[in-house]
Structure 1
Amino acid sequence: MSGKKEETSFSILRIYDEPEERRYEPESSGISSQAGHHAQSQLDGVYGTPQWPPGSSAQHGPVYQEMRSLSPQQWALQALDRSELQASWFSDGEPREEAEFGSSSLPGFEFGQPCPSPPPSEEVWSFLRAIPPVADEVVVRQRTPRASWKVGKLCHGKKVCAIAISSLTHHVYTCGHGYIRVWDESALHTWNKAPQAQLNFQGHHNCVLTCKLFPDEQSLITGGVSRTLTLWDLAPTPRIRAHLASTGPICYSLAISSNAQICLACFKGFVEIWDLQNQILIRKHKVPEYGSRCVDITGNKFWTGGEDTSLYSWDLRSFQKLQQYSLHHEILSISHDPSEEWMLVGLRTSDIIILHAHRKEAFKAVVHKYVHHHNLKFSSCGSYFVTTLDESIHCLSAPSLQRLFQEEESTEILCCDVSSDNQYLVTGSKNCATVYQLLF
C-alpha cells in the first residue's frame, strides 16, 4: 500500500440550520400528509427503520414512539455501536456526485453502513419496554454551544498570525511580527486593557506564523519567519526554555503528538520531526514541494497538504508514504478530532473534506465559496468544531453538521482557537484578537 494514490469518491454532506427532526417531518394534514408519510416510509425502508402494520400494538408502544420520532439519519446512528458513532456522517447525496462516481462508490455500498433489516420481534419490544428509564441527571451528554457572545477585544497592534488560549488560566497568546503578547483572563472581557506581558524577539523581522500549546498547556512552541523553533515555559511567567535550530527559513505549520513527545514542523518541501523531550532533530523528511503548507499528526501517522491539492499520509516509523488523496483544490488547513480517527481538511473553495484516519471513508461538506483563509479547530469534547472562512465564523456540530451559530467580523480572520474547557473562542485578524464566550 506504500505510496498508493487513492481515487477518492465523496459522499456529499450538507450543512444545515434547522433541527434534524424537522427536515424529515411530514405535513400535518390532507393529501400532503399522506405524501409526506409515503416519503417517510420510503426513507425508513432505505435506512432500516422498522415497518409496522396498521394497528400493531408495538406501533403505539413507548419505545416505538421514541424511535419513530427519530429521523432516518438518527435511526442509522442508533443502529451503530459506540465505536462507529463518529463514522456516521450521513446526508443525502447530490445527484451530480452520484452520477459522477456511481452508486457503488457511495459509503452505503462500500464502507459498511447498516443495511435494512427485519423489525425486532414483539418479545424484544416487550423486553425493551420493561427496562426502567434512566434518570436525566445521570445521563452524560456531549454539550454543544447554542450561541456565542462577543465579550472582548485584545489589541495586539499588528497582524495576529497565530493564537492560542489556555483553559487552565484562560491566558491568550497572540503572535505575529516582532513579539508575542500575553493576556490574562481579566482582559478577555474588556475592549482596551493592556496585555499582561510582551515577549519581544531579538530580530525585528522575526514573525510567528504558527503556534501550538502542549497537551498539558504548560508549554508553547512557536515557528515562523525564523530559522528556529522556540519552546516556551508558560508558568509561572512565560520564558524561553530552548531554541531548536531548524533547517528552513519559514515554518508554516506545527503539530504535536498527544503524548507531547514528537513535534512536526512544516517547511517548503520538507517536514522536520523533533524529539521534544531531548530537543533533538530526529529526521528531515522530504515531501512534495508544494504539498507542505499544513501538517498534523494522528497516532503513528502524519499528514501534509498544500498548494498541489493533494493530501498525503506518512508512517511515523518507516517514513513511507501511505496514501495520497487528490482533492482538486488547494489545502489551507488540516485538523483532527480528539479521538484522532477523523481528519478535517479545509480547502480554498471553503469545502470541508472529512476522512477517516484508518478506514476508506471520505465525505465532503460543500460550501462553494472561494476564500483566502480557511481555519479549522475541533473542540476538545469532539461534539463540535469551528471553521473560519475569511470574515465568517461557523460553529458546526459533529457528526450531524448542524450549524450551531455563525458570526461575522469586519476583517479577515487569520487564525482561531477554542479553549479546551469549551468556554472561549478566540480569533486573530488584522491588528487584534476577538474573544467570544460560548453559551450552552
Structure 2
Amino acid sequence: MSREKEEDLFSILGIYDEPEERRNVPESSGISSQSEHQAQSQAEGAYEMAQQSPGPWTWHGPIYQETSPGTPQQRVLQTPDGSDLQAGWLSEVEPEAAAEVDPSILPGPECGQPCPSPPPSEEVWSLLRATPPVPDEVVVRQRVPRKSWKVGKVRHGKNVYAIAVSGLTHHMYTCGRSYIKVWDESALHAFNKAPRAQLDFQDHQSRVLACKLLPDEQSLITGGLSRSLTLWDLAPTPRVRAQLASTGPVCYSLALSSNAQICLACFKGFVEIWDLQNQILIRRHEVPEYGSRCVDIAGNKFWTGGEDTRLYSWDLRSYQRVQEYHLQKEILSITHDPSEEWVLVGLRNSDTIVLHTHRREKFKAFNKYIVHHNLKFASCGSYFVTTRDESIYCLAVPSLQRLFQAKESADILCCDVSSDNQYLVTGSKKSATVYQLLY
C-alpha cells in the first residue's frame, strides 16, 4: 500500500451563524435536502450546473450528503462578548497525488471533481420542467440542537480527566485519580447530589485519563496512569470484569472499533491492539515516540498523533503506515464521524482538521492558541461538539452553522454526548457539568 506525506496548505470556507429569518427552520438531512434543492433548481439551472464543478465541499455517508451552501469565502464568527472568532474549512485535492490513483476509483462529481458533460437535450429539458418540487411534508429532516440548558453539576472531588454518559440509562461516569464515580439520571438534573456509587482503585495513585463506553453501554473500559486497562461491567452493579495487563506505564487515549471487538490503547511510542472479546493482546505496534498522544480507529485504519505535529494513519490489517500529514501544531484529539468516513483532528492552536478516510479530501477550521481541545461527534451524525479551554461550541454538519456556544468558569478537560443525543457533559477541575440539548 502506498505511503504519502502531505504538507498541507489550506484555503478558507467559513463557519457561520444562521440568519435570524432561518433560525426556526429545522436542519435537513443530507439526502433529503439534496433532493429538495435539485427538484427546485432543475428547470432553471440544469445547463449551468452541468458546466461547472459542484460546491466547495461535500459530506458523504448514510447520514448526510449535502453540499454546503454559499460561496467559499471567509466569514467571521462573532462571540457574545464581541470578539471575533474566525473559522473556516477547505477542500483540496492535490494534482500530483490524484495522478497516482487508478482513474477507475477516482471520486466523481459528488466529490468536488469537474465532470464535463454535454448540454441537456430537448427531451431532458421537457422532463426537468415537468418534475414537480418535493413537498415539505415528505422531506425527512435530521434534528440538531438549537440551545443547551445547564441542568446539573456534580462534585467529583478531583480533576475529571475522562467522562462518559449513556443514552440508555442516562448514567454518567466521571473518572480521575484513585476512583470513578457513577451518577444516575436524577443527579444529572441536580446540583451537588451524592453519586450512586464510587469505584475505588487498589492503587490510590492510579489515574484514569481515558474511558470509552462499549456500544451496548453495559460495559466501560478505562486506561491511564496504571499498568493495566480495566474492563468494567456496569449492570446491575458496577464491577471489574477483567484487568488487561498493558506493556506501558501511562495510557493517554483509547479507541474502540464500531463492533467493540478491537480496542486501541495509546502509549508513548506505541499502540496496543486488543481483542476485547477474548481479552488478548493482538499486537504492540510501534509508532513515533512523540506521535502517540491520541488515537482513533475508523474502518480498517487507525490514526495517531501527538507532540511531533504529525498525523499518521495505519492499516489495521498490514500495520503499514498509509499516510502522514504535517499539521505544524501539536495534536490534542482525534475522533471520527458515525459513518467512519471523516476524521476530525484538534490542534494546539484550536485548528480542527477534517480528513476523508478514503479519498484525498482535506478541510480546516481555525481560531487561536489553546491548552485543551476536545472533539465529540453526536451519534446521529448531524452535529459535533468541540471544547476549547473553557468554551463549548456546537456545529451542524454539513452546513457548519454554529448551533450554540457556552462558557464555563474553568478549563474543560473532557466531554461526551449521550448516544440518544439528549445530554452533553463536560469534565473540569473537581466537577462535571450537565447540559440538556434542546431541539
- With normalisation by structure 2, the TM-score equals 0.81
- Residue aligning to 1:30: none
| 1:19–1:402 Cα contact (<8 Å) kept | no
Q: Where does the alignment leave 5 or more consecutive residues of structure 2 unmatched?
A: 23-36, 47-51, 75-87, 99-106
- Residue aligning to 1:397: 396
Deviates more, 1:124-133 or 1:428-437: 124-133
| 1:239-282 CA-partner distances (Å, limit 9, x unpaired) | 11000000100000000000111000000000000000000100
| 1:80–1:114 Cα contact (<8 Å) kept | no
**Paired residues, number:** 395
CA distance in structure 2 between the aligned counterparts of 1:261 and 1:413, rounded to whole angstroms = 30
CA shift at 1:167, angstroms? 0.2
| 2:165–2:416 Cα contact (<8 Å) kept | yes
Where 1:436 maps in the other structure, the secondary structure is strand
Amino acid at match of 2:72: D
For residues 20-419 of structure 1, what are the structure 2 equivalents within 5 Å? 76=55, 86=65, 88=67, 92=72, 112-114=112-114, 124=124, 127-128=127-128, 130-131=130-131, 134=134, 136-367=136-367, 369-419=368-418
Amino acid at match of 1:147: K
* Structure ranking higher in helix proportion: 1
- Residue aligning to 2:436: 437
CA shift at 1:105, angstroms? 9.1
CA distance in structure 2 between the aligned counterparts of 1:352 and 1:185, rounded to whole angstroms = 32
Where 2:12 maps in the other structure, the secondary structure is strand
CA shift at 1:10, angstroms? 3.0
- With normalisation by structure 1, the TM-score equals 0.81
CA distance in structure 2 between the aligned counterparts of 1:409 and 1:79, rounded to whole angstroms = 33
CA distance in structure 1 between the aligned counterparts of 2:357 and 2:375, rounded to whole angstroms = 17
Amino acid at match of 1:426: V
CA shift at 1:117, angstroms? 7.0
Where 1:160 maps in the other structure, the secondary structure is coil
Amino acid at match of 2:385: V
Amino acid at match of 2:311: L
| 2:60–2:341 Cα contact (<8 Å) kept | no
The higher radius of gyration belongs to 1
CA distance in structure 2 between the aligned counterparts of 1:329 and 1:78, rounded to whole angstroms = 24
Amino acid at match of 2:341: E
Amino acid at match of 1:92: P
| 1:29-60 CA-partner distances (Å, limit 9, x unpaired) | xxxxxxxxxxxxxxxxxxxx99xxxxxxx9xx
CA shift at 1:18, angstroms? 2.7
CA distance in structure 1 between the aligned counterparts of 2:141 and 2:45, rounded to whole angstroms = 18
| 1:289-331 CA-partner distances (Å, limit 9, x unpaired) | 0000010001111000000000000011111111100001100
| 1:76–1:114 Cα contact (<8 Å) kept | no
Q: Structure 1 81/18 Cα, relative in aligned 2: closer, same or farther at 3 Å? A: closer
Q: Structure 1 102/145 Cα, relative in aligned 2: closer, same or farther at 3 Å? A: closer
CA distance in structure 2 between the aligned counterparts of 1:167 and 1:284, rounded to whole angstroms = 33
CA distance in structure 2 between the aligned counterparts of 1:361 and 1:20, rounded to whole angstroms = 32
Amino acid at match of 1:207: R
CA distance in structure 2 between the aligned counterparts of 1:106 and 1:84, rounded to whole angstroms = 28
| 2:93–2:360 Cα contact (<8 Å) kept | no
| 1:206–1:225 Cα contact (<8 Å) kept | yes
